[in-house]
Structure 1
Amino acid sequence: MTTLDATDWRLLGLLQQDARLGFRELARQVGLSPPAVATRVRRLESLQVITGYSARVDPAKAGWPVQAFVVLSTTGIRQSHQVAHLAGAVPHILEDHRVTGTDDHILRVVAHDIGALEPLVDQLNELGKPATSFVLSSPKAWGPLPPPDTSA
């Protein structure tokens, strides 16, 4: 496990809010020199704490107005691996989380319309028992990773 100090967490917080911030601006906000910030950010990247940079896109405004979560109970480990493979191969499956409990996977999917999800549900029926919940709204669709509570 990587140990991160308060400055690392401050940098991570700033970059999660706006990954386009340059080293000079990051340095100004955390009170370090730009080269020191660059070294820290490169270290966080090499440790794979920072795994990439991307834009957050509103699915509905980008042409994917239907968003749903599909929970899936599989019938065995082979089927669970097949779900993971399917998730990697189907672009409109945005996320696949293998979980504990009565279900094995939680998938976040998008579609042009509800009917477009039917073929995916059919595929998932071959691997287990899917249940779909449609997203009505997302009051909090994303949040930055907070630093751990170190007071305990």
Structure 2
Amino acid sequence: MRLNDLDERIVHALAEDARRSYADIGELVGLSAPAVKRRVDRLRAEGAITGFTVRVDPMALGWETEGFIELFCRHNTSPGDIRRGLSRYPEVVSASTVTGDADAVVQVFASDMRHFERVLERIAGEPFVERTKSVLVLSPLLRRFGAGAPT
């Protein structure tokens, strides 16, 4: 499904602040509050909007260390096998298969370096993992949520 310009502007407004009122969004995009609500309801029904959430600074939850782990998997490991294996780790906040030498890249938040090291060791010990390579984040420079950059 491809969003039209008006729907895309509504989605960007919600991604910026999901608590924004329909009237406020309507002012931004030139619609009445009921018209915005109808469009949001339709976007939810069609699956373009999958839910509403809150963004929490990981540091507020005690997750002060962030890193990325490249996974190099054993031959014939499927993406489903990787997803099932990683889903058991609450520290894993995202995982994607990728092009290049690695098979997947995993984003991890941990309370400190020792915690990150323990998670890395546990992931490296998964039966589908041949080897890992990790990097730690020093300073996050840019993060975008939800709908990407507004047009």
TM-score (normalizing by structure 1): 0.86
Question: Equivalent pairs: percent with the same residue?
Answer: 29
Looking at structure 2, the residues matched to 73 and 85 of structure 1 have their Cα atoms a distance apart, in angstroms, of: 16
Aligned length: 147
**Further displaced range: 108-117 or 74-83:** 74-83
Looking at structure 2, the residues matched to 46 and 100 of structure 1 have their Cα atoms a distance apart, in angstroms, of: 33
Match of 1:60 in 2: 59
Looking at structure 2, the residues matched to 19 and 77 of structure 1 have their Cα atoms a distance apart, in angstroms, of: 41
CA displacement at 1:120 relative to structure 2: 2.3
Name the SS for the 2:77 alignment partner.
helix
Pairing of 1:76-115 with structure 2 (within 5 A): 76-78=75-77, 80-115=79-114
Looking at structure 2, the residues matched to 52 and 87 of structure 1 have their Cα atoms a distance apart, in angstroms, of: 23
Name the SS for the 1:46 alignment partner.
helix
Looking at structure 2, the residues matched to 64 and 73 of structure 1 have their Cα atoms a distance apart, in angstroms, of: 26
Amino acid at match of 1:133: V
Match of 1:138 in 2: 140
TM-score (normalizing by structure 2): 0.87
Amino acid at match of 2:117: E
Pairing of 1:109-128 with structure 2 (within 5 A): 109-126=108-125, 127-128=129-130
CA displacement at 1:109 relative to structure 2: 0.5
Gaps of 5+ in 2: none
Looking at structure 2, the residues matched to 49 and 77 of structure 1 have their Cα atoms a distance apart, in angstroms, of: 33
**8 Å CA contact 2:65, 2:116 repeated in 1:** no
**8 Å CA contact 2:96, 2:106 repeated in 1:** yes
**8 Å CA contact 1:7, 1:30 repeated in 2:** yes
CA displacement at 1:80 relative to structure 2: 4.6
Looking at structure 2, the residues matched to 128 and 53 of structure 1 have their Cα atoms a distance apart, in angstroms, of: 37
Amino acid at match of 2:49: I
Looking at structure 1, the residues matched to 78 and 117 of structure 2 have their Cα atoms a distance apart, in angstroms, of: 19
Measured on the aligned residues, the alpha-carbon RMSD in Å equals 1.9
CA displacement at 1:147 relative to structure 2: 6.3
**8 Å CA contact 2:86, 2:123 repeated in 1:** no
Name the SS for the 1:68 alignment partner.
strand
